[in-house]
Amino acid sequence: MHTLRQYFYLASAILSGSCLVIMTLLILAQIVARFFGVIIPSSEDFAGWLLSATIFFGLAYTFNAGGHIRVTILLSRLRGHTRRWMELVNISAGLLIVGYSTWYILYTVYESWVYEDVTDTYLVMPLWLVQMPMALGSLFLLIAVADNFITALRGHTPGYISHEAALEGE
């Protein structure tokens, strides 16, 4: 199970990094093409969609690695059971918020599919296709938060906290 978790977070990072590389190559191609007087249609649109995919695909990996901003002014002063209880309250709130936003994003993608919405750009594409990376990235984040919540419930140290100690040592 531990290996499956590692592969899940690694897949999140690879998807995010791949979108970033593709976006960079697309922008470089556009720069080179302009030098020769050629315009690549809708390259800005694709770059924007790839940026969104980069961000959302990277959320799960970043969360588990402790890369998201956490305000630990109060938590750093708590010890033992009190800190564990507050961490459970925080991760529960995070799970509810991420769960709701994931549901809403998935529902938005579903509505775009049902109503056959299309993009309002030069290159007309189904809107659900453009929204899908955001939905999948949100679902990945929900799985990551639930994974860390279950880890905390079992009395173990969640991934985002174990990396926090390493960051404080720097």
What is the value of pTM for the model shown? 0.90
Structure tokens at 120: 């309002």
Question: What gap in Å lies between CA 113 and CA 25, rounded to an integer?
Answer: 29
Q: pLDDT, tens digit, for every residue of 31-86?
A: 999 999 999 999 999 999 999 999 999 999 999 998 887 777 777 788 888 989 99
